[in-house]
Amino acid sequence: MAKIAINIATGSLQQNEVIVGIDLGTTNSLVAIIHPESKKLIAIKEHDSSSLVPSVIYFGNSNEVVVGEKAKEYLISNPAQTIFSAKRLMGKTYNDIRDGIKNFSYQIIDEDDKLVKVKVNNNFYSATELSSLILKELKKSAEHILKTPVNKAVITVPAYFNDAQRQATRDAGKLAGLDVLRIINEPTAASLAYGFGLSNEEEKIIAVYDLGGGTFDISILKIHNGIFEVLSTNGDTFLGGDDIDNGIVQYWLSKFKETANISQQQLRVLAEKAKKILSDTDNFMVEINGIILALSLPELETIIKPILNKTLECSKKALKDADLTIHQIDEIIMVGGSTRSPVIKKEVTDFFGKKVNDKVNPDEVVALGAAIQADILAGNTKDVLLLDITPLSLGLETAGGLMDVLLPRNTKIPARASRQYTTQKDGQSGIVISLYQGERDLVKDNRKLDEFILKGIPNMPAGFAKVDIAFLINADGILKVSAKELRSGVAQEILVKPQQNLSDEDVEKMLQDSIKNAKEDITIRALVEATTEAEQLLNTTEGFIQKNIHYLSQQELLSTSEALQALQLSLSMGDKNLIQLKMEELNAISKPYAERVMDLAVNSAMSGKKI
């Protein structure tokens, strides 16, 4: 059933339902849209307030749920009932987070290999449920501000999120009543907000430096023809603005003895305030309980330095993994609230030897990018043709060296396709699965990606095995190919990166070649298909004759042998029509006795049955 959106304020039908972009962050979350009327790209907020909603959930004594700024207060007064950093738990088991457990002030249930559950007031919550509460709050406030229902969203996740974490995010959206149209990578979203990848500009390599509240992520992306490829990611899941705040508190405690009388929590709040103020001024001073706390910019820079150095170490590793030198980076974009500190911008600029790009609000940039992606999905941004798609077809080699395409070119990713194959020979125990990319009909003209062997298929006649081969390409463009023989359960899989070492020119050349050779390719494919079919027919007919020679007349044997020879001859002549004709002739000869022998077999099976 189609949904029709009604503008609550005006009562009019809305032509396009809004699709929002959501940054579901560890510390802060927010919603952005391209406004349906003004067409402006904006983060959603109430007048005079911040667009950021702290990712904090407080469960009151009678289980009332408070999310956002108001919940943040309870981090201090009631930590056991106040959940923060739920994102860290997404798609994780207790074993996964065991080492970092001291970072959580609320109760996490210890069940080794089960998905994490949080216990508050004798109720249990999964990470998905917790995230859904934040999403619900975002949806509610967006609806309130926009005065229109919000049912569809694009949600961002870190580039390193695995399938389980992405699925957990999707599920959280669903629980919150949101149809999650797409999960996109945070660095991809940030690049979109900076306008990269929106036109068919030349290839660009972008470093996305994202320093948030509790996490640091550096991602190196290659963008070409609107395709975002994550070349590498690195980071530290426990490094961010919180560490700077802690550093300030430690510094104050050591410098001003009187601070011991102020609660740690109060000090942390003041420390964050000091840090933020020092992003715009040189000095911070405040009086609390008659005590004066001060922090100068140079002092703050000394506190930030070790944290900054760690981020640069991660950046080095990311460059190395992407096989790039610093000079190959075209743009460095700043993401995350903590990049507002001038010292961070300066040092990152020095590290890359290039001025960092900080034009877009670093708190909002990810959500803004998600909103652009949402607008593209809504079909409003017509000039973007290619985005997150497969530039070339992906497939595998079948009999006769033919290309069998599972994911055609321009398939939107993530995507999945599967098909069943079988064995060609009796007792065949393995199948070689060769993966190719390209538009030509013969694999020899395409680009070979990789190959693997599905081994251990039990002994069965040709054509009996059922081999299911699935192609799954994820949001990062990584292709997982899995093969499973369904009767025996033997399985095997492989991961490949189809876009690796593939330049725009390569893609273009492959497309041009396929157009140039289309006619010949079709002819060759038809011939190869006919040949494969004929070879199989030769095999089965010869096998049948050997087994049932006693049931056939002399005349039948003679005419069959002649027809087999004629088919053999047509194969050597490479004439598709002739091969088909000879197959038909052979079939016409063998059909009567094949039916007769079958009947005999059935009758003997029946008479052998004891009742």
Q: Which residues contact 39 (CB under 8 A, 6 or more apart)?
A: none
Distance CA 568, CA 606 (A): 38
- From 186, 229, 445, 476, active-site residue: 186
Q: Among candidates 316, 526, 556, which has minimal Cα distance to 442?
A: 526
Nearest residue to ligand ADP, using CB? Answer: 241
The label of the residue with tokens 């005006």 reads: 10
Looking at beta carbons only, is 213 or 247 nearer to Mg ion? 213
Cis peptide bond N-terminal to 149, omega within 30 = no
Looking at beta carbons only, is 272 or 533 nearer to ligand ADP? 272
Instruction: Tell me the angle at which helices 554-573 and 576-607 cross, rounded to the nearest 10 degrees.
Output: 150
Distance CA 373, CA 98 (A): 36
Looking at beta carbons only, is 58 or 216 nearer to ligand ADP? 216
CB of 78 to ligand ADP, least distance (A): 21
Q: Among candidates 93, 236, 82, which has minimal Cα distance to 165?
A: 93
Instruction: Give the number of other CB atoms < 10 A from CB of residue 610.
Output: 3
- Measured CA to CA in angstroms, residue 126 lies from 53, 70, 365, 529 at distances of 21, 22, 28, 53
- 567-571-573 Cα angle (round to 5): 115
Looking at beta carbons only, is 337 or 369 nearer to ligand ADP? 337
Query: Is 210 known to be catalytic?
Result: yes
Looking at beta carbons only, is 91 or 212 nearer to Mg ion? 212
Distance CA 576, CA 523 (A): 9
Residue 506 binding target from ligand ADP, Mg ion, none, CB below 5 to 8 Å by type:
none
Q: Which amino acid is at 94?
A: Y
CB of 329 to ligand ADP, least distance (A): 22
Interface residues toward Mg ion, by CB under 5 A:
25, 212
3-state SS, residue 328 = helix
CB of 366 to Mg ion, least distance (A): 6
Residue 213 binding target from Mg ion, ligand ADP, none, CB below 5 to 8 Å by type:
ligand ADP
Residue 232 binding target from ligand ADP, Mg ion, none, CB below 5 to 8 Å by type:
none
CB of 336 to ligand ADP, least distance (A): 4
CB of 212 to Mg ion, least distance (A): 4
CB of 308 to ligand ADP, least distance (A): 12
Looking at beta carbons only, is 272 or 330 nearer to ligand ADP? 272
Residue 143 binding target from Mg ion, ligand ADP, none, CB below 5 to 8 Å by type:
none
Residue 91 binding target from Mg ion, ligand ADP, none, CB below 5 to 8 Å by type:
none
Distance CA 43, CA 32 (A): 4
Residue 276 binding target from ligand ADP, Mg ion, none, CB below 5 to 8 Å by type:
ligand ADP
Looking at beta carbons only, is 87 or 484 nearer to ligand ADP? 87
55, 31 Cβ separation under 8 angstroms: no
Looking at beta carbons only, is 149 or 158 nearer to ligand ADP? 158
- From 45, 87, 484, 576, active-site residue: 87
- From 210, 242, 439, 441, active-site residue: 210
Q: Which residues contact 226 (CB under 8 A, 6 or more apart)?
A: 197, 198, 199, 200, 384, 385, 386, 387, 388, 389
Interface residues toward ligand ADP, by CB under 6 A:
25-28, 212-215, 240-242, 272, 275-276, 279, 336-338, 340-341, 363
Residue 197 binding target from ligand ADP, Mg ion, none, CB below 5 to 8 Å by type:
none
CB of 344 to ligand ADP, least distance (A): 8
User: Would you list the DSSP string of 391-451?
Assistant: SS-EEEEEGGGEEEEEE-TT-BSSEEEEEEE--SSTT---EEEEEEESS-SBGGGSEEEEE
Instruction: Give the number of other CB atoms < 10 A from CB of residue 405.
Output: 21
Residue 275 binding target from Mg ion, ligand ADP, none, CB below 5 to 8 Å by type:
ligand ADP
CB of 196 to Mg ion, least distance (A): 18
Query: Is 186 known to be catalytic?
Result: yes
Which of the residues are catalytic? Answer: 23, 87, 186, 210
